[in-house]
Structure formats: C-alpha cells, structure tokens
Amino acid sequence: MSMIVKITISLVTILLLSGCWDRTELNDLAMITALAFDKAENNQIQTTVQISIPQSQGGGMMGGGSGSTPKTVTQSEKGYDVTDALSKLQRKVSRKLFWGQCKVFIFGEEVAKAGIREHFDFLLRHPKTRERAYLFVASGKASEALDLSPPSERSSAEVLRKLTELKIGVRVTVEQFSMMLKGDSQAAALPLVNILPPPPSASNPNQTIPFIFGTAVFKKDKMVGDISEKDTRGVLWLKNEIKEYTITFKNEKGEGLVSLNPVKADVKLLPKIKGDKWVMTVKVKTVGDIVQNATLLNPMNQDLLRILNKAYVKDVTTRIQTALRKVQHELKTDIFNFASEFHRKYPKHWERSKDRWDEIFPKVEVNIKVNARILRPGLINTPGGMPAEETIRH
Amino acid sequence: MEKRNLSAFQMGVLMYPTVLATGFLALPTITAQSAKNDLWLTCIFASFIGLLTIYMAFRLHELYPGQTLVQYSERILGKLLGKLYIFVFLFYILNTSGTITRQYAEFVKGNFLFKTPITIIMSFMILLCAIAVRGGVEMLARCAIIFTPIFILPLFILLLLIPDLDAKQIFPVLSHGLIPVFKGSAQPIVWMSEFFLISFFLPHVSDPEKGKKWSYISLCSVTLSLTYVNLLSLFLLGPDTGNKIYPILVAFRYISIGNIFENMEALLLAMWIVGNFIKISAFLYVAVHSLRQWLHLSDDRHITFPLGILVVVLGIWDLPDSSKIGENLKLGLILIPSCLALIPLILLIIAVLRKQRTTDEGESSL
C-alpha cells in the first residue's frame, strides 16, 4: 500500500519538473536585438525595438542569404516612460518581447541632451535587460539606425555590436556607464552612431549600415557635446584603450608618410598635487611595426630610425594634446576619469575639494611623456619599389 | 544519548553552505553600503566573531559532553530561565528559517520564475528540506557532501571575468578610517555567528578531537569565499556595488567569453538552490531538534512537517515586501548575534565559574 503511495507521489513530482508556470516556448518569443530611445512630443518617449524575424534566420545561414529580404522588423510606440511605451508596443507584436539577446541600446541625440537618467534606470533595474549590452548615441534619430537592413549582417544591431568589439571607438557597456556616472568624475563618453550613405547601386536606401563616428560626451546624465573621430583617437590614448591601432605620421627629414600597425600602448596616469596646483603626468609607452614607408629613409639605419621614432613621439603627443584641448578646455568634462586617479593617490585632499572638481579639472596641468619605439621594419628594409642608391641611407 | 554518526569532516562541509548560502549573494551589497571600497575587510573582521562562537560551542560541549544548547542552558541557567531562553531561541531559529526561505524564494521569483507564485517556491523547498531533516543528521551530512562541491564550483567560473576586472578600484584603502568598516562588519557578524549551530551537531560527531580543526577550516573557507566574492564585486562594479540588490547575479550575467559563454546566471541559480537547501535544512533540523528537547518528546518525526509549515508561514507573515525584509535584516543585527553569540558567552562564563566553584568546593571538602 505505502509503495503505491510513494510511486504516486514521485510520479506527481515528475510532472512539476517541467518548470510550472514559467514555461516559455521559442515560438512564443520575439527576440529583440536592439532598443532605441527617441524624444516624442508632449515630453513623451518613443521606444523602437528591432526584432529578428525567425523564419529568415535559418535561410540566412545558408549560402550568404539574399540581401533583399529584411531579416529584422522594427516597431515603435510612444509612452510616458520606457516601460509604458514598451507595454503599449507589446500590443503590436504577437509574440512576447524577449530581452535576453538584446545587446544594443541607442539613445537619440535629443534624448541624450535632455538627460537619460530615467530611461537608464530601466536598463539597470529590469531583471531581463543585460548589463553587458552596449550603449550608443545616435546623431539624429536613434530609430533610423534600426530601420536599416545591412547587406552583410543579420541586423543593424549586429553591425554595431561587431564594430564595437573591433575596438575602433570607445566601448561602453550598460554597467560601465553606470559606474562612470556613479564614480568620482560623473562623466562618461559613449560612441556616436551615424548612418553610412548607401552606395548608388543599392536598390533600397535602407541597404546600408550604421557606423561609429566620434564620441558623445556626457556630464552627469546629460550629453554636453560631441567630439570628432580624430579627437576620439586621442581620447582612446588617454583612456588606455589602444589595441591593434594604426598610426600615420610625417617626419622632419624629407617628404612622405610612415604608417605603423599594430601599435600597442601602455598609458599610465600619474597624479600629483603641489600646493594649489593639480598636475597629471601622462606616461605613454608605445611600440609599433612599420607596414608602409613612403619616405626615402631606411629604417634599418639606427640614426634614421631615431628620426622616425622622434616623429612617432611627436605624433602621439599631438593626438593626445588635441583631444585634451577639446575635452578639457572646451567641454570641461572629465571623461578620462582623472578624478579617480587623484582620489586614489590623495584621498584626504580629494574629500576636501571634490565638490569643486568641475572648476579644478579644466585647470589641471597635463604633462605628456611619450616613449615610442618602432620595433620592426616589416618584410623589407630600404623603401620598396626603387633602387637602393636613391634612398637616404644615413 | 544520540547516535554518533557524523564525522568531523562532514560537519565542516555541512557548515560551509549553512553559513554562506545566503551570504555570498546579499553581503557584498550590504557591506558596500557602509564600507564602500573597503568592503573586503569586513568579512575578515567578522570572522573573529565566528572564531569566538566556534570556541564557545566547543568549550560548552567540553563542559557538558553529549548535550546540545537546549540541554545545557537549562542546567546552567536553571529550569525557568533556561526554558525561557530556549523559547526565545526557538522563536529566533524559526523566524530566521522563514526569512531565509523567503530570501531564497524572492531571488528565484524576482529573477527567474516570474510567474510562479512565491508560496509554491517556498513550500517545495521546505518540503524537500523537511524530508531531509526527517532522515536525520546523517542524511543532512551526506547531502552536504554531495551538494557542497556544486555550490563551490560556480564561484570559480567567476574567474572568467578577469578581463573585466579593475583591481585599482580597491584604492584608496581605508580613506575614511576604520569606523565605516566596523559598521559594515555588523552584517557579516550575523552570518558568522551562525557557526554556533555546530553546538547542535557536536553531540553526533564521532571523532570530536578533529571537530575543532574542521570547524576552523570551515570558518576559514567561508571567510575566504566571502572576501573573494566581495573583492570580485568591487573590482567589477566599483562604486556601483552598493547599489545592486545582488552584485553576484550581475557578475554572472556579465560573463561573456567569445560570445559563446554567456547568460551564465542559471549556474548561479543552481548554486543558490543547493546552497539554500542545505542551509534551510540545517536550520530546520536545529529547530526540530530544539523543540523536541525543549518539550522532552521522544521522537522528532511528528513535528518536522508541522514546523516546516510554520516556517513557510513565518516567511510570509509580516514580510509584505522586499523592503521590509531588508528592514528585518537590520533588526536581526541585534537579535541574531545576541541569540547565537552573546547569550552563549554568558552561558559559558556562568558555566566556567560554576565548574570552578564546584571544584573549589570539592577541594575544600577533601
């Protein structure tokens, strides 16, 4: 008798193993690949989601897929806040919105300038959005970047994610952004997204990609300005995010440019407070290999190499200086997180003056010390495509 | 006399998830709120209380061998006071079990099973724990031996985060002095004082001479694990640690290796379930055992399920929302260490004084 009871009980528990109420089927879910925030009238927010279309996904894997059929669809809706807008948006989508694969969040420029704190709270608080998703700011309307159907990837969100992982611009995840705004400097930099003009041969104007061009600068939760692609490179140096980088520079002896790739760098920020003067020494140690040499100099010659090294140092210093001029003196926003460096070295001093950091930062004196060395000449020694006699050898 | 069918090693392994299960998820954020970037020091400070409670449990057990807290507190404090203390202790242990069960279920419901009613999550866990407790202390120990490795392994998976960690977040060390660190230590002390529960397992230990060694090893591993988890959340989240409800959940979600190893939080859930299974079972075992000895019942099998139901009820009653659970945790700051550390300390002092007097009297009467 008790045997029967035991067997019945274990059979009943097996039924519960399927996970009770929270069973979800893949065909009931709408995979969101990106979410965009735009400003709408009456102080409302417009949210746009990009959903991958399940049927064409399998087909896309085989034989390159046809570029003409879109593999994603976008839907947008307005609301008083993000959650409100998204709940209204659910009415237009037959499947339940699923956040697990959403790795791209884009803020429209207008929203970014008005302040993103309330929207950003949703990204941090919602249990299903992911902290590792990347954040972007679109120059213009964010939803436009999602409407594109790129020829080479499944979705424009995928394009942005892959571009970010190539580390060509600043790379900021939701969690990192949250830390930047909570940290000592309360400033952040996000990559700026533009839309590449479609090639004239494209049948559909949407057949293009969004790409990263420049950086949006945030003070607290508001975007205060943007910096150009050129200055962004200087910012990357200061943030020690240089990896597999390319540098092209002139030298004082003769015409022509030299290009180095990959360039590796190690950047150290050394803070110092002397009385009332705050000084930051930026120590850069960088090495690179020559991949193109349009000058007449033979890099295997120690004397000539010294000239090239000097030009290399000068180029890196200029890059950093241009970025500093823009960020430190024009935008006056500490996206390099100098604040934390000072805080760590001078905790007591920092406590006293942290409220005045906005005034102090533009006045911080920055010394740049670059140690740059060209390590290898590539596969050839004297400049290629000409007789060795015509080159400068000493 | 109880059967001695628990080895010292098993007891040490059993105590590890019993103390740590809820701690590694809740402590980084609680300690970060007051100690900021010095949070990693808090557990090291708190471990001294753990050291004290283990020492007390062993000393009391040496003075009253084969007896649990329930039995010797009656002999030390007298029948009335002893019974009263055990009543308070029983209330505490049941209430704490309820809170732990609720915390366990809150995490599961808030992050994974959104639609499942919380009562179901709690009841099924308690059902499982009650079955384990009915099996006796040996069953608990064997469960612990099997599940503790599953509980520990995911902690190592967090090492995949190394590329995202920033060790500089630890500086400046102690920039606000020691006071915030001591304030931050208050909560880990609650967890560390739970080591006193070994006083209920000691009468079963078959090799008591090794008991001390394994308890201290257990304490060391708990302290190390907590410090590791604290440091990891600090390195990953920096100033944001105190703002997360579950920093370690964020850490698990943040793991991404080559876009393949992602969404690892299911591992955390597995670890959370097995850890809390052991923890709740140990607490329920102590509750059942002390009630039995308090009322001098001959068998504890009849009271296991009723007490289990009481634990579920206590986990729902008076805890309307998570903010209230947080409030109650702060209240527990006073109640728990006094139940598990302060009163045992008083017990020990009285017991030692008494022993001295009886030996003195014995000597003088000679």
Residues A253-262 have a mean pLDDT of 84
Does a structural domain hold residue B316? yes
B168 touches A: beta carbon within 8 Å: yes
Length, in residues, of chain B: 366
Give B240's contacts in chain A (Cβ within 8 Å).
175, 178-179, 182
pLDDT of residue B362: 58
Instruction: Compute the radius of gyration of chain B from its Cα atoms.
Output: 21
Residues A126-154 have a mean pLDDT of 89
Q: How far apart are CA B288 and CA B90, in angstroms?
A: 9
Give B112's contacts in chain A (Cβ within 8 Å).
22
Nearest by CB: A182 against B111, B240, B256:
B240
Predicted confidence (pLDDT) per residue in A188-247, tens digit: 999 999 998 888 887 788 888 898 888 999 998 999 999 998 889 889 999 888 877 888
Does a structural domain hold residue B363? no
Could you tell me if A33 and A51 are in contact, meaning their C-beta atoms sit under 8 angstroms apart? yes
Does a structural domain hold residue B325? yes
pLDDT of residue B1: 45
B116 touches A: beta carbon within 8 Å: yes
Could you tell me if A194 and A148 are in contact, meaning their C-beta atoms sit under 8 angstroms apart? no
Burial class (CB in 10 A: 0-12, 13-18, 19+), A68: exposed
Nearest by CB: B171 against A21, A132, A344:
A344
Verify whether the Cβ–Cβ distance A179 to B120 is below 8 Å: no
Does a structural domain hold residue B312? yes
Interface of A with B in 90-109 (CB under 8 A): 100
Length, in residues, of chain A: 394
Predicted confidence (pLDDT) per residue in A365-387, tens digit: 999 999 999 998 889 888 888 88
Q: Please compute, for residue A13, the number of CA atoms within 13 A of its CA located in the half-sphere on the CB side.
A: 9
pLDDT of residue B133: 93
Show the CA angle centred on residue B255, arms to residues B254 and B257, nearest 5°: 135
Q: How far apart are CA B281 and CA A369, in angstroms?
A: 62
Is 80 exceeded by the pLDDT of residue A361?
Answer: yes
Q: What is the mean pLDDT of chain A?
A: 87
- SS3 for B85-113, per residue? HHHHHHHHHHHHHHHHHHHHHHHHHHHCC
Contacts across the A-B interface (CB distance below 8 Å): 54
Q: How far apart are CA B242 and CA B230, in angstroms?
A: 11
Q: How far is CA A106 from CA A25, A89, A96, B195, in A?
A: 28, 17, 21, 49
**Domain range holding B335?**
8-357
Q: Which of A96, A179, A184, A268 to mutate to test the interface with B (most CBs of B within 10 A)?
A: A179
Verify whether the Cβ–Cβ distance B239 to A182 is below 8 Å: yes
- Contact partners, residue B167, CB within 8 Å, separation at least 6: B235
pLDDT of residue A322: 92
Nearest by CB: A344 against B172, B239, B250:
B172
The shortest C-alpha distance from B71 to chain A (Å) reads: 36
The token duo for A78 is: 């307005």
A132 touches B: beta carbon within 8 Å: yes
What is residue A282's three-state secondary structure? strand
pLDDT of residue A371: 93
Does a structural domain hold residue B192? yes
B253 touches A: beta carbon within 8 Å: yes
Position A59 confidence tier, pLDDT thresholds 50, 70, 90 = very low
Predicted confidence (pLDDT) per residue in A294-351, tens digit: 888 888 888 888 888 999 999 999 999 999 999 999 999 999 999 999 999 999 889 8
Q: How many domains does chain B have?
A: 1
Higher per-residue pLDDT: A343 or A255: A343
Verify whether the Cβ–Cβ distance B240 to A127 is below 8 Å: no
The shortest C-alpha distance from B51 to chain A (Å) reads: 33
| Beta-sheet pairing, A104-108 with A222-227 | unpaired
Q: CATH code at B66?
A: 1.20.1740.10
Looking at chain B, the whole-number percentage of residues with pLDDT higher than 70 is: 97
Does a structural domain hold residue B219? yes
Q: What is the pLDDT along chain B (366 residues), one digit of tens a residue?
A: 457 788 999 999 999 999 998 888 889 998 998 888 899 999 999 999 999 999 999 999 988 888 888 888 888 888 899 899 899 889 889 988 999 999 999 999 988 888 888 999 999 999 999 999 998 888 999 999 999 999 998 889 899 999 889 888 888 888 888 888 988 888 888 889 889 999 999 999 888 888 899 999 999 999 999 999 999 999 999 889 989 999 999 999 999 887 788 888 888 998 999 999 999 999 999 999 999 999 988 887 889 999 999 999 999 987 888 888 888 777 777 777 777 888 888 888 988 888 888 777 655 544
The shortest C-alpha distance from A318 to chain B (Å) reads: 28
DSSP B290-342: HHHHHHT-S-SHHHHHHHHHHHHHHHHTT--SHHHHHHHHHHHHHHHHIIIII
Could you tell me if A311 and A252 are in contact, meaning their C-beta atoms sit under 8 angstroms apart? yes
Interface of A with B in 333-362 (CB under 8 A): 340, 343-345, 347-348, 351
Predicted confidence (pLDDT) per residue in A160-178, tens digit: 999 988 888 888 999 999 9
Verify whether the Cβ–Cβ distance B110 to A183 is below 8 Å: no
Q: How far apart are CA A251 and CA A129, in angstroms?
A: 50
Q: What is the mean pLDDT of chain B?
A: 88
The shortest C-alpha distance from A387 to chain B (Å) reads: 47
pTM, two decimals, is 0.88
Residue A74 amino acid letter: T
Does a structural domain hold residue B231? yes
Burial class (CB in 10 A: 0-12, 13-18, 19+), A334: buried
Residue B256 amino acid letter: S
A19 touches B: beta carbon within 8 Å: yes
Which residue of B lies nearest to A342 if distances are taken between CA atoms?
A: B172
B111 touches A: beta carbon within 8 Å: yes
Verify whether the Cβ–Cβ distance B250 to A347 is below 8 Å: no
Verify whether the Cβ–Cβ distance A351 to B175 is below 8 Å: yes
CB atoms within 10 A of CB B364: 7
pLDDT of residue B366: 47
DSSP B252-300: HHH--BTTTB--THHHHHHHHHHHHHHHHHHHHHHHHHHHHHHHT-S-S
Q: How far apart are CA A316 and CA A238, in angstroms?
A: 11
Does a structural domain hold residue B364? no
Give A19's contacts in chain B (Cβ within 8 Å).
113
Could you tell me the end-to-end alpha-carbon distance of chain A, in angstroms, rounded to an integer? 102
Residue A207 amino acid letter: Q
* Backbone conformation region of residue A192, classed left if phi is above 0, alpha if psi is from -120 to 50, else beta: beta
pLDDT of residue B288: 93
The shortest C-alpha distance from A157 to chain B (Å) reads: 15
